[in-house]
Every structure is written in structure tokens, then in C-alpha cells.
Amino acid sequence: MSSHLTKYLNSIPIKEDNYKVDFIILERYQSFSSEILRLSLLGLSIYGFLITNVIFKITDKEDKLMSIESFSDNKVLLLLGAVTLILAALVTLGHRYLSTHCMTHFIKGLRLRQNISEIESTIANDKNEFITLSKKIDNEQSSFEKNFNLCGWLLFASCLFLITGILIVTIALACFFNDILMI
């Protein structure tokens, strides 16, 4: 952002009523994504606990580890479950970053639109500067819309990865324990 535009943005006050509802909505979306992040990290923790403290501790009567063969047979599913939960966490973090960045564009655009007449009067003598400023306002709006749409897709993808990860982990563990019972 140019220092000229920064000067205008810093001096433009905005009323809390103009953005309060938007921040409440943002907070709700971010609370939802926090839950997805929490659940995916909790799923990874439980998954790691089960693998290290249950799967690799199953022994037979002679203290021989029974789970290595079954673990090897199901390693692709077990790995895929962990990777999917990691993707859920990463996509959720991306959503949280972009949704905050989206609100930055929203506030910049709001400040510029709220006092556009003040900005026009201070730069009325320089048409090129006004055209440049208008392009920057359009860029803020365009960036806001792109980030807003991407945030929706990221939130959807994080939910999908979480659900898929939980299903894969459940199937992988079921296959593993089924193989153990067959031994």
C-alpha cells in the first residue's frame, strides 16, 4: 500500500455500527473453524496415542509383538488417515488467516467509501492521483471478494477433510484390529 493511501486511511474514522455485525459474523465463522482445528488436532493426538500405546503394545503369550504384520498390511490406510487430519488442520488455519485478511480489505474499502468525498476534495487538482486511488479502491474490493469466496471453499474443504480423516482412521483401525483378531 502506498504511503499516500495509508495517510488517507489512517485519518478516516469509521463508526463501529458500520462494521460491528461483520466482525460478529467473522467471529462465528472463526469459532467454527477453531472447532474444526481442535477436532482435527484432537483426532491426531488420539490416533497417535492409539498407535504408540495400544497397537505397538499388543503382544502374544511369549511377549512377541503381534501387531507389526497387521500394521504393515494397513499402513497406507493408517497413513492416509493421519495425512487427511493434518490437511483438515492446515486448511482450517488457511481459512482463519484468509478470513482475517478478508476483513482487512473490508475495513480498507469501508474507510475509503465512507469518506470518498473528503478524499476527492483533497486530490481534486490531480486527476491521475484520483484515478490511481480509484483503482486501489477497486483492487481492495476485488481482493475482498476473492478472499471471501476462497474462505468459503476453505471452510468447506476443512470440514470435508475432517470427516474424511475420521472415517479413514476408523476404517484403518477397524481393519487393523480385525487382522489382529484373525491371528
Average confidence (pLDDT) over 120-140: 70
DSSP designation for 54? T
pLDDT of residue 4: 44
In this structure, what C-alpha cell is assigned to residue 16?
Answer: 463501529
DSSP designation for 37? H
In this structure, what C-alpha cell is assigned to residue 79?
Answer: 497413513
Cα torsion 102, 103, 104, 109 to 10°: value is 100
For 32-56, what is each residue's pLDDT tens digit?
A: 999 999 999 999 999 888 878 776 6
Whole-number percent of the chain with pLDDT over 70: 70
* Residue 122, pLDDT above cutoff 70: no
In this structure, what C-alpha cell is assigned to residue 20?
Answer: 460491528
CB-CB contact of 80 with 92 (8 Å): no
* Residue 165, pLDDT above cutoff 90: yes
The larger pLDDT score, comparing residue 71 to residue 21, is at: 21
pLDDT of residue 3: 43
The number of beta carbons lying within 10 Å of the beta carbon of residue 53 is 9
pTM score, whole prediction: 0.73
* Residue 136, pLDDT above cutoff 90: no
Q: Check the CA dihedral 100-104-109-115 and report its sign.
A: positive
Query: What is the rounded distance in angstroms from the CA atom of residue 138 to the CA atom of residue 85?
Result: 38
Query: What is the rounded distance in angstroms from the CA atom of residue 147 to the CA atom of residue 150?
Result: 5
Q: How many angstroms separate the Cα of 135 from the Cα of each of 85, 98, 112? A: 41, 22, 12
Average confidence (pLDDT) over 109-123: 67
Confidence of residue 78 (pLDDT cuts 50, 70, 90): confident
pLDDT of residue 2: 42
The larger pLDDT score, comparing residue 60 to residue 5, is at: 60
Average pLDDT over the chain, rounded to an integer: 79
When mean pLDDT is compared across 6-10, 22-26, 162-166, the lowest value belongs to 6-10
Query: What is the rounded distance in angstroms from the CA atom of residue 168 to the CA atom of residue 150?
Result: 26
For 7-21, what is each residue's pLDDT tens digit?
A: 445 566 677 777 788
pLDDT of residue 134: 75
Q: How many angstroms separate the Cα of 11 from the Cα of each of 14, 43, 108, 119, 175? A: 10, 47, 12, 10, 63
